[in-house]
Amino acid sequence: MLEIKNISKSFVQPDGSNIEAVADISLDVKRDDFVAIVGPSGCGKTTILKLIAGLERPTGGQLIFEDKKIISASQERGIVFQHFSSFPWLSVSENIAFGLRLKNFSEQKVKTIVSHYLKITDLEKFKNTFPANISGGMQQRVAIARTLANDPKILLMDEPFGSLDMQTRSRMQEFLATLWEQNHKTVVFITHDIEEAIFLADKVILLTQRPAKIKKEYNIKFERPRLHELKFSEEFFNLKRAILKDLEF
Protein backbone atom coordinates (compact mmCIF):
# COMPACT_ATOMS: atom_id res chain seq x y z
CA MET A 1 0.00 0.00 0.00
CA LEU A 2 2.80 2.37 0.92
CA GLU A 3 6.28 1.98 -0.51
CA ILE A 4 9.08 4.14 0.76
CA LYS A 5 12.07 3.88 -1.55
CA ASN A 6 15.48 5.11 -0.43
CA ILE A 7 14.22 8.43 0.83
CA SER A 8 16.47 11.06 2.30
CA LYS A 9 15.71 14.53 3.53
CA SER A 10 17.96 17.39 4.47
CA PHE A 11 17.10 20.88 5.62
CA VAL A 12 18.97 24.09 4.99
CA GLN A 13 19.77 25.78 8.28
CA PRO A 14 19.47 29.56 8.74
CA ASP A 15 23.28 29.80 8.61
CA GLY A 16 23.32 28.10 5.19
CA SER A 17 24.60 24.72 6.32
CA ASN A 18 22.75 21.51 5.55
CA ILE A 19 21.30 19.20 8.13
CA GLU A 20 20.46 15.67 7.15
CA ALA A 21 17.39 14.41 8.99
CA VAL A 22 16.68 11.18 7.14
CA ALA A 23 19.22 9.07 5.23
CA ASP A 24 18.24 6.33 2.82
CA ILE A 25 15.18 4.74 4.38
CA SER A 26 13.18 2.08 2.59
CA LEU A 27 10.05 0.59 4.02
CA ASP A 28 6.95 -1.26 2.87
CA VAL A 29 3.69 -0.86 4.70
CA LYS A 30 0.94 -3.31 3.83
CA ARG A 31 -2.79 -2.78 4.11
CA ASP A 32 -4.04 -3.13 7.70
CA ASP A 33 -0.53 -3.12 9.12
CA PHE A 34 0.13 -1.37 12.37
CA VAL A 35 3.71 -0.16 12.09
CA ALA A 36 5.46 1.68 14.90
CA ILE A 37 8.62 3.66 14.25
CA VAL A 38 10.81 4.08 17.30
CA GLY A 39 13.93 6.15 17.69
CA PRO A 40 15.78 8.56 19.95
CA SER A 41 14.41 12.09 20.33
CA GLY A 42 15.25 14.39 17.45
CA CYS A 43 16.32 11.56 15.16
CA GLY A 44 14.03 12.56 12.31
CA LYS A 45 10.98 10.41 13.06
CA THR A 46 8.57 13.27 12.58
CA THR A 47 10.19 14.12 9.26
CA ILE A 48 9.46 10.61 7.98
CA LEU A 49 5.81 10.97 8.93
CA LYS A 50 5.54 14.38 7.29
CA LEU A 51 7.07 12.93 4.14
CA ILE A 52 4.45 10.18 4.10
CA ALA A 53 1.70 12.75 4.73
CA GLY A 54 2.98 14.83 1.83
CA LEU A 55 3.59 17.86 4.04
CA GLU A 56 7.29 17.73 3.11
CA ARG A 57 9.08 16.62 -0.06
CA PRO A 58 12.04 14.23 0.12
CA THR A 59 15.44 15.41 -1.11
CA GLY A 60 16.15 11.96 -2.50
CA GLY A 61 14.19 8.78 -3.27
CA GLN A 62 10.45 8.56 -3.54
CA LEU A 63 7.26 7.63 -1.74
CA ILE A 64 4.56 5.69 -3.54
CA PHE A 65 1.07 5.41 -2.11
CA GLU A 66 -1.29 3.02 -3.89
CA ASP A 67 0.80 3.20 -7.07
CA LYS A 68 0.87 7.00 -7.07
CA LYS A 69 3.78 9.18 -6.15
CA ILE A 70 3.13 11.32 -3.08
CA ILE A 71 3.42 14.96 -4.11
CA SER A 72 1.17 16.81 -1.67
CA ALA A 73 -0.96 16.40 1.43
CA SER A 74 -4.15 14.46 0.89
CA GLN A 75 -7.17 13.37 2.88
CA GLU A 76 -6.20 9.78 2.02
CA ARG A 77 -3.43 10.09 4.57
CA GLY A 78 -4.73 11.49 7.84
CA ILE A 79 -2.37 12.67 10.53
CA VAL A 80 -2.63 13.07 14.31
CA PHE A 81 0.02 15.28 15.89
CA GLN A 82 1.64 15.16 19.30
CA HIS A 83 0.43 18.55 20.34
CA PHE A 84 -3.18 19.41 20.47
CA SER A 85 -4.01 20.52 17.00
CA SER A 86 -7.76 20.76 17.36
CA PHE A 87 -9.40 23.88 15.98
CA PRO A 88 -10.02 25.99 19.09
CA TRP A 89 -12.87 28.03 17.60
CA LEU A 90 -14.95 24.92 16.84
CA SER A 91 -16.86 22.74 19.27
CA VAL A 92 -15.81 19.11 19.66
CA SER A 93 -18.43 17.90 17.19
CA GLU A 94 -17.62 20.65 14.68
CA ASN A 95 -13.97 19.68 14.94
CA ILE A 96 -14.88 16.14 13.99
CA ALA A 97 -17.10 17.42 11.19
CA PHE A 98 -14.39 19.67 9.69
CA GLY A 99 -13.19 17.35 6.92
CA LEU A 100 -16.74 16.20 6.13
CA ARG A 101 -17.91 19.77 5.63
CA LEU A 102 -15.01 20.40 3.25
CA LYS A 103 -16.40 17.56 1.17
CA ASN A 104 -19.87 19.14 1.19
CA PHE A 105 -21.55 16.11 2.69
CA SER A 106 -25.24 16.54 3.45
CA GLU A 107 -26.10 17.75 6.95
CA GLN A 108 -27.71 14.37 7.67
CA LYS A 109 -24.62 12.44 6.64
CA VAL A 110 -22.31 14.69 8.64
CA LYS A 111 -24.51 14.23 11.69
CA THR A 112 -24.52 10.46 11.40
CA ILE A 113 -20.75 10.17 10.99
CA VAL A 114 -20.00 12.65 13.75
CA SER A 115 -22.25 10.96 16.27
CA HIS A 116 -20.66 7.60 15.43
CA TYR A 117 -17.18 8.92 16.21
CA LEU A 118 -18.36 10.84 19.26
CA LYS A 119 -19.60 7.51 20.51
CA ILE A 120 -16.52 5.41 19.86
CA THR A 121 -14.25 8.06 21.35
CA ASP A 122 -16.60 8.48 24.30
CA LEU A 123 -16.97 12.22 23.79
CA GLU A 124 -20.76 12.48 23.48
CA LYS A 125 -21.09 14.47 26.67
CA PHE A 126 -18.62 17.05 25.41
CA LYS A 127 -19.84 17.46 21.86
CA ASN A 128 -20.72 21.13 22.33
CA THR A 129 -17.64 22.02 24.38
CA PHE A 130 -14.69 23.96 23.04
CA PRO A 131 -11.38 22.05 22.97
CA ALA A 132 -9.80 24.45 25.46
CA ASN A 133 -12.28 23.29 28.10
CA ILE A 134 -11.55 19.56 27.96
CA SER A 135 -8.55 17.54 29.18
CA GLY A 136 -5.46 16.71 27.13
CA GLY A 137 -6.50 13.07 26.69
CA MET A 138 -9.91 14.12 25.43
CA GLN A 139 -8.35 16.64 23.05
CA GLN A 140 -6.25 13.87 21.54
CA ARG A 141 -9.36 11.74 21.17
CA VAL A 142 -10.96 14.66 19.31
CA ALA A 143 -7.95 14.78 17.00
CA ILE A 144 -8.17 11.02 16.40
CA ALA A 145 -11.94 11.14 15.83
CA ARG A 146 -11.54 14.08 13.46
CA THR A 147 -9.01 12.17 11.40
CA LEU A 148 -10.94 8.87 11.44
CA ALA A 149 -14.23 10.55 10.52
CA ASN A 150 -12.56 11.65 7.30
CA ASP A 151 -11.99 7.96 6.54
CA PRO A 152 -8.34 8.12 5.46
CA LYS A 153 -6.77 5.05 3.91
CA ILE A 154 -3.83 5.31 6.25
CA LEU A 155 -3.58 6.86 9.69
CA LEU A 156 -0.33 8.62 10.58
CA MET A 157 0.29 9.31 14.24
CA ASP A 158 3.15 11.45 15.50
CA GLU A 159 3.66 10.68 19.20
CA PRO A 160 -0.05 11.29 19.72
CA PHE A 161 0.14 10.50 23.44
CA GLY A 162 3.53 12.10 24.03
CA SER A 163 2.26 15.02 26.06
CA LEU A 164 -0.16 13.07 28.23
CA ASP A 165 0.42 11.90 31.78
CA MET A 166 1.24 8.21 32.39
CA GLN A 167 -2.24 7.09 33.36
CA THR A 168 -4.05 8.86 30.56
CA ARG A 169 -1.42 7.63 28.17
CA SER A 170 -1.93 4.04 29.19
CA ARG A 171 -5.69 4.35 28.81
CA MET A 172 -5.32 5.97 25.41
CA GLN A 173 -3.06 3.15 24.23
CA GLU A 174 -5.65 0.60 25.19
CA PHE A 175 -8.31 2.73 23.52
CA LEU A 176 -6.30 2.89 20.30
CA ALA A 177 -5.55 -0.85 20.36
CA THR A 178 -9.25 -1.64 20.71
CA LEU A 179 -10.18 0.88 18.06
CA TRP A 180 -7.72 -0.64 15.65
CA GLU A 181 -8.86 -4.18 16.40
CA GLN A 182 -12.43 -3.19 15.60
CA ASN A 183 -11.90 -0.95 12.56
CA HIS A 184 -8.78 -2.34 10.91
CA LYS A 185 -6.93 0.53 9.38
CA THR A 186 -3.37 0.93 8.21
CA VAL A 187 -1.43 2.85 10.85
CA VAL A 188 2.07 4.31 10.98
CA PHE A 189 2.75 5.30 14.55
CA ILE A 190 5.76 7.32 15.70
CA THR A 191 6.93 7.18 19.28
CA HIS A 192 10.06 7.30 21.39
CA ASP A 193 8.43 4.97 23.90
CA ILE A 194 9.40 1.37 23.18
CA GLU A 195 6.75 -0.05 25.46
CA GLU A 196 4.06 1.86 23.62
CA ALA A 197 5.37 0.60 20.27
CA ILE A 198 5.41 -3.04 21.33
CA PHE A 199 1.99 -2.81 22.90
CA LEU A 200 0.33 -1.32 19.83
CA ALA A 201 2.12 -2.53 16.73
CA ASP A 202 2.55 -5.63 14.57
CA LYS A 203 5.86 -4.36 13.39
CA VAL A 204 8.33 -2.16 15.21
CA ILE A 205 11.00 -0.31 13.28
CA LEU A 206 14.00 0.92 15.19
CA LEU A 207 15.81 3.98 13.90
CA THR A 208 19.35 5.21 14.51
CA GLN A 209 20.43 8.65 15.69
CA ARG A 210 20.17 11.45 13.15
CA PRO A 211 20.37 11.13 10.22
CA ALA A 212 17.73 8.45 10.70
CA LYS A 213 18.39 5.05 9.18
CA ILE A 214 16.61 1.79 9.88
CA LYS A 215 18.55 -0.14 12.47
CA LYS A 216 16.36 -3.15 12.97
CA GLU A 217 12.82 -4.45 12.48
CA TYR A 218 10.82 -6.62 14.83
CA ASN A 219 7.62 -8.52 14.22
CA ILE A 220 5.41 -8.38 17.27
CA LYS A 221 3.24 -11.44 17.60
CA PHE A 222 1.25 -10.85 20.77
CA GLU A 223 -2.33 -11.89 20.40
CA ARG A 224 -5.15 -9.47 20.12
CA PRO A 225 -7.16 -8.04 21.76
CA ARG A 226 -4.29 -6.57 23.70
CA LEU A 227 -5.02 -5.30 27.16
CA HIS A 228 -3.02 -3.28 29.61
CA GLU A 229 -1.96 -6.43 31.55
CA LEU A 230 0.13 -7.56 28.58
CA LYS A 231 2.75 -5.03 29.61
CA PHE A 232 3.46 -7.01 32.78
CA SER A 233 4.05 -10.35 31.04
CA GLU A 234 7.50 -11.83 30.82
CA GLU A 235 7.59 -12.08 27.01
CA PHE A 236 6.70 -8.42 26.78
CA PHE A 237 9.43 -7.49 29.19
CA ASN A 238 12.05 -9.61 27.41
CA LEU A 239 11.21 -8.09 24.08
CA LYS A 240 11.41 -4.63 25.53
CA ARG A 241 14.81 -5.40 27.01
CA ALA A 242 16.07 -6.77 23.68
CA ILE A 243 14.99 -3.67 21.80
CA LEU A 244 16.42 -1.37 24.44
CA LYS A 245 19.73 -3.16 24.10
CA ASP A 246 19.66 -2.76 20.31
CA LEU A 247 18.91 0.87 20.76
CA GLU A 248 22.08 1.45 22.75
CA PHE A 249 24.58 -0.08 20.36
Partner 1 sequence: MIKNKTNNYEYIALAILSFVFLLIVWWLITSFGLIKPFFLPSPSEVAKAVFQLFSQGNFIKDVGISLFRILVGFFVAVVLGVPLGILIGLNRRAEALIEPIVDFIRYTPIPAFIPLFILWFGIGELEKIIVISASVFFQLILMVANSVSFTPKQIIESAETLGANRWQIISKVIYPYSKPRIFDDLRISMGWAWAGLILAEIVGSTSGIGFVIIQSQRLLQTANVISAIIVVGILGLFSDFIFKRLYKILFPWAPKLDHYARN
Least CB distance to partner 1 at residue 145 (A):
12
Ramachandran sector of residue 63 (left: φ over 0; alpha: ψ -120 to 50; beta: rest):
beta
* Eight-state DSSP code of residue 249: -
Cβ closest to partner 1, residue 39 vs residue 54? 54
Cβ closest to partner 1, residue 85 vs residue 173? 85
Q: Which of 234, 151, 247, 232 is nearest to 194 (CA)?
A: 247
Least CB distance to partner 1 at residue 9 (A):
16
Least CB distance to partner 1 at residue 129 (A):
10
Least CB distance to partner 1 at residue 55 (A):
5
Give contact residues for partner 1 (rule: CB under 8 A). Answer: 50, 53-55, 73-75, 77-79, 81, 83, 85, 87-90, 98-99, 102-103, 130-132, 143, 146-147, 150, 152, 156
Cβ closest to partner 1, residue 148 vs residue 204? 148
Cβ closest to partner 1, residue 25 vs residue 97? 97
Q: Which of 202, 169, 195, 175 is nearest to 31 (CA)?
A: 202
Task: Give the C-alpha separation, 162 to 167, whole Å.
Answer: 12
